[in-house]
């Protein structure tokens, strides 16, 4: 990832010819970066025939690597130096202060200090750096805080995937504005009363269906099969019902012909199963 020198926007593909945001020609910028990598090889006295910049990966002198990681003007060179640094204090400093987000991400990959990762996950100005830090966090309190206060949905999604606290997941499933994040929480919830509430009230049919799939309470399923406004949801729920009286009621009174057919087929299926036993 690079930052366009003209508009400042971040570009995912380092070797894009033009900036997709402002149209700036990036060729000269990339060539300059490659020249700096070559010059860095000379500075390190690694003149063997090798891929540009790869000699940095072979360097084991931590003092030189740290100096390169902190002072070299080329972010690609800094990234490659950071990959070989083992000093946690230095890595944390780089992860918090380097002006290039890609370098900060490289530093995060080798950080094991949970408190430092939490700080970065909450304060870095770029969402993808915060997400990189969240990926390495296991502290449930920190993950819950991030799921509550983080504005970027991708970072919240990453945090929610790692949360196993039922109470926190219930809050997320009820309140997060992003359906994809609510769906992750619903998949992890076991409390049936909560699942029933979600199945009856969530605005997104897919999420209601996720909750319904985990519900075993027959009376709740019957209520949903009779009252959900989506015919497809009603049809899917019917397949979980065994109460023939409720199924006959649906088959006779539902306002959708397809739902009626599904209810009748479910009655036949149950009757056949009863005969077999």
Would you say residue 52 lies in a domain? yes
- Written as tens digits, the pLDDT of the chain (277 aa) is 566 766 777 766 544 566 777 766 665 444 444 444 443 453 444 323 333 445 554 445 788 889 999 999 999 889 988 998 999 999 999 999 999 999 999 999 999 999 999 999 999 999 999 999 999 999 999 999 999 999 999 999 999 999 999 999 999 999 999 999 999 999 999 999 999 999 999 999 999 999 999 999 999 999 999 999 999 999 999 999 999 999 999 999 999 999 999 999 999 999 888 776 5
For 95-133, the DSSP string reads HHH-SSHHHHHHHHTT---HHHHHHHHHH-SSHHHHHHH
Dihedral (CA of 219, 257, 268, 207) sign: negative
- Domain contains 126: yes
Residues 204-214 as b or e (16 or more Cβ within 10 Å = b):
eeebbbbbbeb
Evaluate whether residue 157 is within a structural domain.
no
Position 2 in a domain: yes
What domain range is 130 assigned to?
Answer: 1-136
Residue 74 placed within a domain: yes
In the prediction, which pLDDT does 34 show? 45
Structure tokens at 248: 């006959």
Residue count (the chain): 277
Asked if residue 272 belongs to a domain, the reply is no
**Residue 195: inside a domain, yes or no?**
no
Burial (CB count <10 Å: 0-12, 13-18, 19+), residue 276: exposed
Number of domains in the chain: 1
Rounded to an integer, what is the distance from CA 114 to the centroid of its chain?
Answer: 19
């Amino acid at each position: 990832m690079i930052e366009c020198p003209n508009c400042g926007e971040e570009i995912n593909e380092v070797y894009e010819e033009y900036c997709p945001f402002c149209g700036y020609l990036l060729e000269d910028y990339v060539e300059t970066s490659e020249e700096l990598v070559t010059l860095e090889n000379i500075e390190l006295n690694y003149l063997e025939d090798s891929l540009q910049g790869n000699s940095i990966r072979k360097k084991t002198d931590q003092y030189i690597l740290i100096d390169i990681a902190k002072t070299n003007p080329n972010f690609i060179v800094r990234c490659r130096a950071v990959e070989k640094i083992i000093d946690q204090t230095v890595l944390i400093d780089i992860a918090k202060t380097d002006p290039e987000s890609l370098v900060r991400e490289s530093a995060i990959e080798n950080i094991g200090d949970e408190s430092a990762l939490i700080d970065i996950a909450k304060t870095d100005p770029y969402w993808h750096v915060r997400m990189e830090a969240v990926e390495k966090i296991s502290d449930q309190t920190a993950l819950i805080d991030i799921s509550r206060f983080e504005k970027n949905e991708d970072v919240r999604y990453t945090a929610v995937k790692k949360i196993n606290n039922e109470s926190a997941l219930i809050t997320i499933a009820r309140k997060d504005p992003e359906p994809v994040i609510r769906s992750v929480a619903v998949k992890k919830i076991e409390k049936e009363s909560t699942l029933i509430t979600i199945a009856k009230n969530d605005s997104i049919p897919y999420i209601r269906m996720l909750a319904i799939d985990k519900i075993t309470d027959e009376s709740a399923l019957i209520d949903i099969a009779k009252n959900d406004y989506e015919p497809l949801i009603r049809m899917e729920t019917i397949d979980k019902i065994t109460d023939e009286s409720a199924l006959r009621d649906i088959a006779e009174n539902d306002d959708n012909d397809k739902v009626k057919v599904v209810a009748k087929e479910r009655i036949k299926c149950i009757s056949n199963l009863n005969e077999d036993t």
